[in-house]
Amino acid sequence: MTRSVEGLPAPNERRRLREAAELTLDEVATAVGVAAATVRSWESGRTTPRGRKRDAYARFLAGLPELAPAADATGPPGRAAPPASPGASGAS
């Protein structure tokens, strides 16, 4: 089950956000102050962050959606559709 904990996205969304922002487990772990294995456990839903680490992780993740929007019909997660080229309407 991938329920979200109040203030945190669901575990699968935590991983999606990290991957879309092109961050490693080690980078997130360093930013939050935990081991990479701990972040892996949080992303798998095996364990749930608590206390100050939970607060730090929630703050960290809160900044990622702007960098890594959810996937939609325009392309894969974290990738915006390429901008239209000037004169791309087919007219020469």
* Segment 2-52, tens digit of pLDDT: 445 568 999 999 999 999 999 999 999 999 999 999 999 999 999 999 999
**pLDDT, tens digit (0-9, with 9 covering 90-100), for 46-89:** 999 999 999 999 999 998 866 555 554 344 444 443 444 445 44
Residue 91 to residues 85, 86, 87, 88, Cα–Cα distance (Å)? 12, 11, 7, 7
Q: What is the pLDDT of residue 70?
A: 59
Q: Positive or negative, the Cα torsion across 43, 45, 47, 51?
A: positive
Claim: this prediction has a pTM higher than 0.75? no
